[in-house]
């Protein structure tokens, strides 16, 4: 699953970067989402694979903090990228004539950088709180990753402070973005229905449908894992949600976008065609001499 996740996301990055037809804000956000999915799953799954092979469940305190920091960083960046992609579709469908002005490349890069630094700040804030209230040495975490809310629950001396911080953080990086995504979806549905061309309507529904599928997969498992563990130790279902959230979701994201995005499909076919042509061009027996003998 880990290799499939990395290879699929790298394929999307390669397709977007090598095809001029995909040099659009939406595909720029999609390629950044692929980078984030690679980083997100790489922060946790390799350690889990090593533990499974070595039959060890031990992680150092520094390693646990590092894993938690990357977990929060990539989760927050993905959260913001999904919101940006929803806003991009809203502008493209609801204000198509103003789209080139509103969603210009410089603005897209600016948004990504701002969200990166906000996510980095949130990640360091999690680590700082854990370091400030360290009251444990050897403990067991009922999960296969150093999940933030569990560490905060162990580290904070006051559970009320822990709960307040988690819910404020969830509101900023969870409730507000998903509210924006749902609001943009509610606004663009009437605009899609007014499109006269059946092909254009189908393409719009396909793009928005794939995005909403990824949003539901990301937020559905994330809310179950993050919020429920803030008030009580996670049951077995919470660990299953963690599995869905960390290895499964990054693996399915590129598959969902590739299946429902015709532009990505066309770019992948063109990339495959160029690869085959390049292979034939440099094949040692693809060129023959006057008498049919290979050079």
Tens digit of pLDDT for each residue in 214-264? 777 777 766 666 655 555 555 555 566 677 777 888 888 777 776 666 666
CATH class of 2-266: mainly alpha
Query: Who's near 23: CB < 8 A, 6+ residues apart?
Result: 16
Q: What is the pLDDT of residue 162?
A: 66
- Sorted by where each begins, the domain ranges of the chain are 2-266
Q: What is the pLDDT of residue 250?
A: 84
Residues 293, 215: Cα–Cα separation, whole Å: 58
Query: Who's near 4: CB < 8 A, 6+ residues apart?
Result: 251
Of 18-22, 51-55, 277-281, the poorest mean pLDDT is in 277-281
pLDDT at 294 over 50: no
- pLDDT band (50, 70, 90) for residue 12: confident
pTM: 0.78
Q: What is the pLDDT of residue 38?
A: 92
Residue 288, beta-bridge partner list? 294
Structure tokens at 19: 């095809």
Residues 153, 231: Cα–Cα separation, whole Å: 9
pLDDT at 30 over 50: yes
Q: What is the pLDDT of residue 244?
A: 72
Residues 273, 267: Cα–Cα separation, whole Å: 10
Assess contact for 160 and 167: CB atoms under 8 A.
Answer: no
Assess contact for 224 and 231: CB atoms under 8 A.
Answer: no
Residues 71, 143: Cα–Cα separation, whole Å: 14
For tokens 């975490």, what's the residue? 141
Quick check: helix, strand or coil at residue 9? helix
What phi and psi, each to the nearest 5 degrees, are found at residue 247? -85, -35
Residues 62, 152: Cα–Cα separation, whole Å: 15
Q: What is the pLDDT of residue 238?
A: 58
Assess contact for 156 and 128: CB atoms under 8 A.
Answer: no
pLDDT at 193 over 80: no
pLDDT at 135 over 70: no
Tens digit of pLDDT for each residue in 60-118? 888 888 888 998 899 889 888 888 888 888 888 778 888 888 888 888 889 889 989 99
Closest Cα to residue 235, out of 143, 148, 159, 147? 143
pLDDT at 160 over 50: yes
Residues 78, 274: Cα–Cα separation, whole Å: 31
What phi and psi, each to the nearest 5 degrees, are found at residue 37? -65, -40
């Amino acid at each position: 699953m880990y290799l499939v996740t990395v290879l699929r996301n790298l394929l999307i990055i390669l397709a977007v970067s090598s095809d001029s037809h995909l040099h659009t804000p939406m595909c720029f956000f999609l390629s950044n989402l692929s980078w984030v999915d690679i980083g997100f799953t790489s922060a946790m799954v390799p350690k889990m694979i090593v533990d499974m092979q070595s039959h060890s469940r031990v992680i150092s305190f520094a390693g646990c903090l590092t894993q938690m920091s990357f977990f929060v960083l990539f989760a927050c960046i993905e959260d913001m990228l999904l919101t940006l992609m929803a806003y991009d579709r809203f502008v493209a469908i609801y204000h198509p004539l103003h789209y080139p002005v509103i969603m210009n490349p410089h603005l897209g890069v600016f948004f990504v950088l701002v969200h990166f630094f906000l996510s980095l700040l949130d990640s360091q804030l999690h680590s700082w709180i854990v370091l400030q209230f360290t009251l444990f040495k050897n403990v067991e975490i009922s999960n296969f990753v150093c999940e933030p809310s569990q560490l905060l629950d162990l580290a904070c001396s006051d559970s009320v402070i822990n709960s307040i911080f988690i819910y404020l953080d969830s509101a900023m990086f969870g409730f507000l973005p998903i509210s924006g995504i749902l609001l943009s979806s509610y606004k663009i549905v009437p605009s899609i229905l007014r499109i006269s061309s059946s092909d254009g309507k189908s393409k719009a529904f396909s793009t928005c449908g794939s995005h909403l599928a990824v949003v539901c997969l990301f937020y559905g498992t994330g809310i179950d894992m993050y919020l429920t563990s803030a008030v009580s130790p996670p049951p077995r279902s919470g660990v299953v949600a963690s599995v869905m959230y960390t290895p499964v979701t990054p693996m399915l994201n590129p598959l969902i976008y590739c299946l429902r995005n015709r532009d990505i499909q066309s770019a992948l076919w063109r990339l495959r065609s160029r690869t085959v042509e390049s292979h034939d061009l440099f094949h040692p027996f693809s060129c023959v001499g006057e008498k049919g003998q290979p050079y």
